[in-house]
Amino acid sequence: MKRILIISDGKPGHLNQSIAFCKIKNISYDILEVKFKTKLHKAMSYFFDRINYYTDDLFEEYRKYYYEFYDAVISTGSGTYYFNKFISKNQNKKSIVLMLPKGYKFIDFDYIIAQEHDNFPKLDNILEIPLNLSFPKPKNILQKVEDKKAIGIIIGGNNSVFTLDTDNLRNELNLIFKKQRDSLKYITTSARTPFEVDGLIDEYDFDYKLIYSREPEINPVYDFINVCDELYITQDSTSMLSEARANTNAKINIINLKSKKENTKYHRLVEKVSSMERKVDFEKLLERVEI
């Protein structure tokens, strides 16, 4: 049976993509978390890669594995790509990376799985996908109600590009309640949602409501993706937009926010999601990746 070693930088958003790859390909995996000793050691890794020198001396102490038991290594994020090469070259294992490994040589990874907006060169080992890999698993917090339309509202918050304005959101919610009068209405917030928005949401009669600041241990987003016929997602929530479009055929409506910048990678992702009407068949896209 095939088995993959996931190299993780400890960031859930990166690790989840690597796990999604393994689940989509139906391959068992183990997880090894690594971390550069300092930023200087990370900077050194780019130079070492150029001269084909691979060592684990740049990293903090980590758990050693019996690498011969694995058929490949996979990783996501800049803190993992050099270690990925270190293992694959020293142990003669296939190397797979998700997202474009900028700063490192592309040619000697076996597979690079990158999004279209990464503007990558046309190389045989680069596989293009429209959205980040994801494999959401609902927690059965919500069930599909027969003969009843359900809508899910996913609220993010402020970030370096977007600002969530309470008055604008109130207008959006009023329009949703007017348009979706007969639908079941579910809503959830996130860690970035301002407290004043929590109070705004309390003013409305939702069929299901999750306020993150009050119940941070519960995440109903994957249930929304699983049971809702239509989704409303704030513009800043790019990971949720990506996961929703990748895994459901439900109609996705984007709640626009005030923007401090223009034409960023966040805007480009929103445009990509807006241009797609159906979910992504990741299994088919990954067929050419052989372990």
Judgement on whether residues 39 and 96 belong to the same structural domain of the protein: yes
Judgement on whether residues 9 and 125 belong to the same structural domain of the protein: yes
Judgement on whether residues 7 and 125 belong to the same structural domain of the protein: yes
Q: At 113, which CATH number?
A: 3.40.50
- List phi, psi (to 5°) of 232: -120, 125
How many structural domains does the chain have? 2
Judgement on whether residues 116 and 63 belong to the same structural domain of the protein: yes
Distance CA 2, CA 16 (A): 19
Judgement on whether residues 73 and 162 belong to the same structural domain of the protein: no
Range of the domain at 185: 150-275
Distance CA 131, CA 207 (A): 31
Judgement on whether residues 246 and 177 belong to the same structural domain of the protein: yes
- Domain assignment present for residue 113? The answer is yes
- Domain assignment present for residue 288? The answer is no
Judgement on whether residues 117 and 11 belong to the same structural domain of the protein: yes
- Domain assignment present for residue 252? The answer is yes
- Domain assignment present for residue 135? The answer is no
Judgement on whether residues 121 and 177 belong to the same structural domain of the protein: no
| pTM, two decimal places | 0.82
Q: At 168, which CATH number?
A: 3.40.50.1950
Question: Could you tell me which of 142, 137, 161 has the C-alpha nearest to residue 152?
Answer: 142
Judgement on whether residues 158 and 261 belong to the same structural domain of the protein: yes
Strands (E), the chain: 3-8, 28-33, 72-76, 94-98, 111-115, 126-129, 150-154, 162-163, 184-188, 208-210, 230-234, 251-255, 258-259
Angstrom distances, CA of residue 119 to CA of 116, 122, 158: 7, 9, 27
Kindly give the pairing relationship between strand 150-154 and strand 184-188.
parallel
Give residue 252's identity as a one-letter amino acid code: I
Which domain-ending residue is among 130, 163, 189? Answer: 130
Judgement on whether residues 7 and 124 belong to the same structural domain of the protein: yes
Judgement on whether residues 86 and 161 belong to the same structural domain of the protein: no
- Predicted pLDDT of residue 41: 98
3-state secondary structure 135-194: CCCCCCCCCCCCCCCEEEEECCCCCCCEECCHHHHHHHHHHHHHHCCCCEEEEECCCCCC
- Predicted pLDDT of residue 64: 85
- Domain assignment present for residue 13? The answer is yes
- Domain assignment present for residue 138? The answer is no
- Domain assignment present for residue 144? The answer is no
Low-confidence residues of the chain: pLDDT under 70:
none
Judgement on whether residues 32 and 122 belong to the same structural domain of the protein: yes
